[in-house]
Amino acid sequence: MSSTKINLITPPDKLFNLNASIFLIKPSKQLKIHFQNIISKIDEDLNVYIFDSEEHNIEWLLSVSQQADFIIVDVDHCDPTTKLFLSFIMAQPNVHYITNDEITPYNLINRNRIYNLDWIVNQLKEEDADATED
């Protein structure tokens, strides 16, 4: 069994290396638990950025959203300030979002609505395969 290294990064820190990076924006407790179970199946080093419930550093949020490989937004747990910047963040193609809101048409700016995190294992494996081919 390989020794996988997971780097957990929170504001104001950033890490610059060649690891794949996932950015969780305002994840619920259930999403964190599910994410932890999912990444336990991944055999590569990984950077995990978290913009949590008590975070309000919008400059860091916007900066990391420009560098992360995968961004997962838990829309229902975003505070009012973070929601002001959601349309900018969600307009990026590497953003996936979770919500129970069936009224707000988030799909007009982003078609990457997800209902769980199971897909990320395959995405990371594909990215790792692409990196080894280069």
pLDDT at residue number 127: 65
96 phi and psi angles, rounded to 5 deg: -125, 145
SS3 129: helix
* 1 vs 26: CA distance, rounded Å: 32
* 21 vs 69: CA distance, rounded Å: 5
List of domains in the chain: 6-133 (3.40.50.2300)
Task: Between 128 and 22, name the one with better pLDDT.
Answer: 22
Residue-wise pLDDT for 58-96, tens only, equals 999 999 999 999 999 999 999 999 999 999 999 999 999
Residue-wise pLDDT for 9-25, tens only, equals 999 999 999 999 999 99
**pTM, rounded to two decimals:** 0.89
pLDDT at residue number 121: 76
| Stretch among 26-35, 97-106, 119-128 having the lowest mean pLDDT | 119-128
pLDDT at residue number 1: 43
